[in-house]
Amino acid sequence: MEITGTIIERSRAIQFSRRYLLACLEQITDEVLDFRLTPPNGQLMYSIREHLLHLADEGELLVHLSILKQDMPVDAWRVRHAPDGSWTVTGDWPDRASVRAELEKSYAFQDEHLFGLPATEIAAVIDDKHPFLVWEMIDWMIAHESQHRGQVMTLIRMAGFEPPKWQ
């Protein structure tokens, strides 16, 4: 069987994740974007907005480090982490539309440099300090997005909204 198309066209998992995260934004109000849990020990956890912006960052970081062979520019981070474990949201994404636009911008960047590659490149070796295959990198990204997607679903429920149904 001949492999045709691009990586994104052939990856139902990536397509599903993107659709689902964007659908999550449709299920809530702008006021709920900052909903977060505060554990008894006082440790800060991501809000819904921060989870989604973090995923945009991590997708781009993967491309910068693995494909472009460079650090992600400091001013490109939406959620910048400090050595003490705290973080800062570096821009103004006040509503669901602005968060959605950031996710879509990140997806376009990822598609341009990685997921838009021909599907035949899926077994290519990324020559890095620790060589690995393109599909291994994509597996990591899918697992990471899955973890945060579950956290976003939980926060949406805890904020009193119903997350999207699996489709």
As a whole number, mean pLDDT of residues 68-86 equals 93
* pTM across the whole model: 0.91
Residue 139 has pLDDT above 80, yes or no: yes
Where do the domains of the chain lie?
7-158
For the segment 34-59, what is each residue's pLDDT rounded down to a tens digit?
999 988 888 889 999 999 999 999 99
Q: Tell me how long the chain is.
A: 167
- What's residue 128's pLDDT? 62
User: What is the structure's pLDDT at 24?
Assistant: 96
Q: Is the pLDDT of residue 76 over 70?
A: yes
- Does residue 74 have a pLDDT over 80? yes
Residue 147 has pLDDT above 90, yes or no: yes
Structure tokens at 163: 């997350």
CATH class, domain 7-158, is mainly alpha
